[in-house]
Amino acid sequence: MALTQVNSLEFNEIKSQLKAYLKGQSEFSDYDFEGSSLSTLLDVLAYNTYYSAVNANLAINENYLDTAILRENVVKLAKLIGYTPRSARSARATFTVVVQTIYGTGANGRGYPESVQINKGVFVSFVGDGGKNFIFSIPKDLIVSVNTLDGKATFTGVLAYEGIFITDTFVKTDSERQRFILGNLNADTSSMTVEVTRGTITDAYLEATDITAVNNISKIFFLEEAESKKPELIFGDGVLGEALVNGDVIEVTYPTSIGAEPNGLSGFSFAGTVKDSRNAPITSGITLTLDTPPDGGASPETIDSIKYSAPKFYSSFGRAVTTKDYEAIIPQIYPNVQSIVAFGGEEADPPEYGKVIVVIKPKNADRLSISEKDAVAKKIRSYSVGAVEPKIMDPSVLYIDLVSFVYFNPNNSRRDQDEIKQIIYRTLETLNASAEFNKFGGKFKYSKVQKIIDDAEPSITSNITKVKMRKNVPISLNQRFNYKICFGNRINAQLDTPTLETNGFKRADGGNQVFYLNDDGLGTIRLYYVNSDGSKQFIGGNWGTIDYTAGEITINDLVITEVVGSRDNIIQFAVVPESNDLVSLRETYLTLGIDNLVVNVIDDEISSGSNTSGTGVVPESSYS
């Protein structure tokens, strides 16, 4: 028998093949392998073969982007297709600062000072969960003139970065092979400034993003990730970018980031240093207004993200032509993306020809702020080709509200009903945080959710779960309200029971009465209030229509003065879907409505044996 079989690389099978080979030799035809020292030698040979196979497999895997595990190798493979992993990103917040100066009458001069300066460095401190503080800094001194009438100095659009600004200094030397690696793992390279001093002249260097615009005197640098996971700067060689010369001093200033934790915080206190033009410190009369809360903070790009993004970024070739190009490029210029979808304007309703619609769901909010939209749109235009205009649109969040009746056998569990309910809540929260939801292009799979509920606790015997889909619509009070609400899924038309429900609101000419909306099952929206006896009093008028097939609701001519119980003036439109399986259409973003989740845990009397005849047992209706 020739030793040529390599169909298995498991230890025991390797050893068996070695034994079979030796037994086939005339010298060992009657040899007892199990009871001899040769068995130990076979173990060594098998282990050696096994480890060699494992090592070869791991080594081969590290040569391909899809199968590589070590970050160093993933980064190098991404580098081959021109992709640089995203560094950490500092959260950013903008402020308006008003400083009230003091009218001088002494030796330092009469009147108000000419100007006020906020020194660079620490600016404010935000307070997060558990009292944790997050320092925000400004990169340079800010100086504004003082109003001579009221003595106020107003700073607008003050941009503060989370973290402390650090400066790394390098001196170019030709005597050794030199690398310019930053000293901090969490350096935010998107907010980094690079200056090179040659003699008495200091020049600012910019990161190269398009080599077609680079020549031998361009003051640029390239950015990579070093083996230590720290950012590394690579300067020109005299062909692509100006080369450094011996003695050049390089200063790199950047903020350090703690990641996404500060995003969305609102509580802060001033921690900066202010002085006037007379060099007198100012410690009072300082008023800060938070214009935009912290946003955009992110940790360095993960290995999985690099594997996912690198091929897509490569396919775009640094330009945005197809919708997939936009989906690949935008997470690089705005890393706080949780989910993104892009589609041609011709697919919009109504169509917007010549445009690409980009819908972004940030990680810590339902939508981008106006300033964030403007910043993303400005950056993405440099990638757009021809006359195509990118348009940033808010996502339309479709909440899936569940009411679940869960039956359990108390004989199979030591937990009571409340404990089982909490387990189901946690299970559905985990599901909502998974890849199934919180994304564009998702699908709600009803049978899968039922199974997840059944499997949440061993004593659960079955569940009947009812589904509603909901849209939250912000209202401008005391203004005429005309709105079209698209669910992207068919709505169930019910003649006996309205499919539409809303929360309560007050309207002009309605006094202090609380009104609601529902439908008649034939496509007409009805306005009503509830009498003291519980009956509904409908108000005549054309309040809107509902298209059950298209999944659209149109509301006409409502002037709302108050939304009852809503601080954000949001009316919730909830409807029963025609199918319990729901899809995400275009800008629609699927998520479970955890805030409206209702779970009822019920004793399964038949399974528990307390009522084996089933007399009087009426299962919950499966229809909403």
**One-letter amino acid for residue 151 of the chain:** G
Residue 401 pLDDT > 80: yes
| pLDDT 10s digits, 155-164 | 998 999 999 9
Cα→Cα distances 302→45, 263, 487, Å: 39, 19, 34
Compute the average pLDDT of residues 60-69: 86
Stretch 41-57: mean pLDDT: 76
Q: Averaged over 376-396, what is the pLDDT?
A: 80
What single DSSP character describes residue 538? E
pLDDT digits (tens, 9 = 90+) for 214-273: 888 899 999 999 888 899 999 998 888 999 999 999 999 999 999 888 988 888 999 999
Per-residue pLDDT, averaged over 352-362, amounts to 84
| Structure-token match 């980064």, residue found | 75
In the predicted model, what is the mean pLDDT of residues 30-38? 66
Pinpoint the alpha helices (H) of 154-202: none
Q: What percentage of residues in the chain have a pLDDT greater than 90?
A: 25
pLDDT score for 573: 92
Q: What is the pLDDT of residue 180?
A: 93
pLDDT at residue 316 in the model: 61
Distances (CA, A) of 282 to 95, 116, 121: 18, 9, 16
- Order of strands across the sheet with 389-393? 337-344, 355-362, 389-393
Mean pLDDT calculated for residue range 203-209: 88
- 108-142: per-residue pLDDT in tens? 667 888 999 999 999 999 998 888 899 999 999 99
Confidence at residue 36, expressed as pLDDT on a 0 to 100 scale: 66
Which pLDDT score, from 0 to 100, does residue 1 have? Answer: 47
At 512 the pLDDT is 86
From CA 157, how far away is CA 56, in angstroms rounded?
Answer: 57
Asked if the model's pLDDT at residue 620 lies above 80, the reply is no
Q: Own/partner pairs for 140-148, CB < 8 Å, 24+ apart?
A: 141/117, 142/117, 142/118, 143/115, 143/116, 143/117, 143/118, 144/115, 144/116, 145/114, 145/115, 146/101, 146/112, 146/113, 146/114, 146/115, 146/116, 146/276, 146/277, 147/112, 148/111, 148/112
CA atoms in the 13 A half-sphere facing the CB of 59: 6
Which residues sit opposite 99 in a β-bridge? 153, 286
CB 117 within 8 A of CB 143: yes
Please tell me the predicted confidence (pLDDT) of residue 435.
67
Q: Which two tokens stand for residue 350?
A: 């109504």
pLDDT over 90 (residue 274)? yes
Q: Which pLDDT score is estimated for 32?
A: 64
Q: Tell whether the model's pLDDT for residue 146 goes beyond 60.
A: yes
pLDDT given for residue 27 in this prediction:
67
**How far is it, in rounded angstroms, from Cα 455 to Cα 463?**
11
Res 9 pLDDT > 70: no
The reported pLDDT for the residue numbered 289 is: 92
In this prediction, residues 57-76 reach a mean pLDDT of 87
More confident residue, 38 or 297: 297
Instruction: Point out the least confidently predicted range of 270-279, 296-305, 384-393, 606-615.
Output: 606-615
CA angle 293, 294, 299 (to 5 degrees): 160
Phi, psi dihedral angles at 450 (to 5 degrees) = -60, -40
